Amino acid sequence: MRAHLTRLALLITVLAAIAAGPVAQTQPPVKDNRLFQSGIEITSITATVTDREGHPVIGLTRDALLAFEGIAEISADRMIESIERSRPVGLRRALIGLAIPMASEATAARLCRAGYATLEQVADADEDELQQVEDIGPKVAASLHAHLERARDEIARLRERGVDLDVRDEDLPPKVAADAPLAGKTVVVTGTIADPRSGEKVGRPAFQRLCERAGATTASSVSANTDMLICGDNVGASKTAKAEKLGVQIVDQGEAWQLLIGAGVA
């Protein structure tokens, strides 16, 4: 039992990680499968651990956890804190956590920016409606529709337990600055980024958001459609070599920061 509870604690930590940031930077997608013969399982559909009777761990109370053999008060308190941190998932991270076949992190971001406000709204959309979103074709639309249709009961249970499945402000289209210096440019960010004013590291998603507020469209990899490669520290040679081959403008992060600060977005 104690080994099972240790695993349970680790799985609860997964919930908090999903809520804290993009899955790609925290935890690989969890596949649907029964993990333990004891009846504890986690599903990618809900990112929810369930006990032997199928009750979601996210709905457990401190007293219920203390009833398990081997869980002391400190452990129970930490588990409850992790469960609480898992609630503000938001629409984009919920879609990523579902691990829907053929649907990427970019798909989740585009659905948020296309005006879908809740996970239920995405589930209610038919395949034709989903295909109106940029870069969502028939196969991705069919996969989204089928997967979310099967997940309706689980989505409802998460709602009942206070899990936030609504679009978050940071996932909405950014407000573009007047006279945006990067307007019309497709930008790729690579390397370690740090604010030159404080020296503090800045996560790539946060820096990309600043670039978007400066008018840019951000992409994850260099292609013929890329206009600018912004390089931080510790950049791999392969990415800069590809940019040079394609004639992409290579810009040091210091120059990019000057543009962003000058535009009032950073």
Fold exhibited by the domain 186-262: Rossmann fold (3.40.50)
Q: What is the CA radius of gyration of the chain?
A: 21
Q: Distances in Å between the alpha carbon of 260 and those of 178, 198, 221, 265? A: 12, 15, 21, 6
Share above pLDDT 70 across residues of the chain, in percent, rounded to a whole number: 77
**Taking CA 133 as the corner, what is the angle to CA 246 and CA 239, rounded to the nearest 5 degrees?**
20
Tell me the DSSP string of 76-110: HHHHHHHHHHTS---HHHHHHHTT-TT--HHHHHH
pLDDT of residue 21: 43
3-state secondary structure of 50: strand
Q: Where in the chain is the domain with CATH 3.40.50.10190?
A: 186-262
Has residue 17 got a pLDDT over 60? no
Has residue 263 got a pLDDT over 70? yes
pLDDT of residue 56: 52
Interatomic CA distance for residues 197 and 17, integer angstroms: 29
* Residues in a beta bridge with 190: 231
Interatomic CA distance for residues 206 and 208, integer angstroms: 5
- The CATH classification number of 91-171 equals 1.10.150.20
Has residue 22 got a pLDDT over 80? no
Report the mean per-residue pLDDT for the chain.
Answer: 78
Banded model confidence at residue 59, pLDDT cuts 50, 70, 90: low
List, for residues 77-133, the tens digit of each pLDDT value.
Answer: 887 777 777 678 899 988 988 889 999 888 998 999 899 999 999 999 999 999 999
3-state secondary structure of 188: strand
Residues 41-56 have a mean pLDDT of 41
Banded model confidence at residue 60, pLDDT cuts 50, 70, 90: low
Banded model confidence at residue 141, pLDDT cuts 50, 70, 90: very high
Q: Which of 212, 221, 208 is nearest to 248 (CA)?
A: 221
List, for residues 150-200, the tens digit of each pLDDT value.
Answer: 999 888 888 888 888 999 888 887 788 778 899 999 999 999 999 999 999
pLDDT of residue 144: 96
Banded model confidence at residue 57, pLDDT cuts 50, 70, 90: low
pLDDT of residue 191: 94
Structure tokens at 72: 């002391």
Interatomic CA distance for residues 190 and 250, integer angstroms: 11
Has residue 226 got a pLDDT over 80? yes
pLDDT of residue 42: 33
3-state secondary structure of 247: coil
Identify whether the C-beta of residue 212 lies closer than 8 Å to the C-beta of residue 256.
no
Residue where the block lists tokens 């899955």: 23
